[in-house]
Structure 1
Amino acid sequence: MSGAIDLNDIKRRMDGAVSAFKSDIASLRTGRASANILDPVTVEAYGSRVPLNQVANITVPEPRMLGVSIWDKSMVNAVDRAIRESNLGLNPIMDGQNLRIPLPELNEERRKSLVKVAHDYTEKSKVAVRNVRRDGMDALKKAEKDGDIGQDDSRAQSEKIQKMTDDAISELDRLLAEKEKEIMQV
């Protein structure tokens, strides 16, 4: 079989989408404070969007409280705004260059909205996996058209790509179901 397309690269990219999803859902809180909650927050800083942890220190002083120590005084309002607009339902309290973020008790409605966010993350990751699949299939078609590989090889590789896609998508569904159960558990 000729190496018309790199199946390992496709697998690596699909795994990348799955691991990005894992870190996204790790940030969804389940009941106690964790610095990961703020992982998806990006701040408008110095002309570009940067992750919150690149402009501030995040601590967990108590189980239902997060502390954010912002390094640059001029960034305090931008960080506050980024956290409020992050869809995480958090309302920081300003205290000089520090923000205290009390974590509200998770009520039924809040749990459902977190599950919705988890579903959004899943959908984004599935789209990423499907895009990798499409890239692979396009490369196969081109290789077959250019005569680099035969029809049989092309079909065999296309089945492998489809299997990788199915595996990645079912892994995303499994992780989502786990997280959903964790969020809804009172």
Structure 2
Amino acid sequence: MKYLLVSASLLFVSPTSSLGAECNFQRPVGACAGRLEIITAGGASPSYTAEVRISSSAKSCSKVEYYLDATPHTTLLRNANTERESLFGTKPISSKSIGGVKCTAYEDATANNSRTTTRESSRRLGGCTRESEAARRLDDYNNTNDSLDGLIAFFPKAIAVHRQLGDAARVAMLSNLFEIAKDCKAKVD
């Protein structure tokens, strides 16, 4: 049982690190448009709360800075351009109490290597990944640089583990990648 749990946690953690953007928040590359949207707000004196959706026009690797009643806040968006957060204050929170929104985009090392990655994956995966989206999706998950046959053998095991963990989103993502890998294999054979 211990082995199964360790294997499951490795399958769960390892792919996530390779799926995400490799943001370098020390290297700004430009401005972006940041936006805050209040989803819900409530509370009573002396404690008020709000759920907000923070978004950026940058695909990933951005920082959205803003003020809530003159108190500075910062949100780092690594692997997406939208995130939900909870805000807390001593006054009712509304769009009027949020201001000074500033957005900065940062370097994403994975985006810089995408052309090389696509060429390498095309060679490694049997040339079937001429479709850049299929190559990108397989490479995003394939941090072990397996061959196409290795991936096809791996996905059913990973799907079974995540199904046991009750992680429906990961099962759906892995199932989709498994279909892409099988489609590639059919094109090669």
TM range (shorter): under 0.3
Taking CA–CA contacts closer than 8 Å with sequence separation of 6 or more, which of the two structures ends up with the larger relative contact order?
1
TM-score (norm 2): 0.24
Q: Could you tell me the TM-score, scaled by structure 1's length?
A: 0.25
Name the structure with the higher helix share: 1
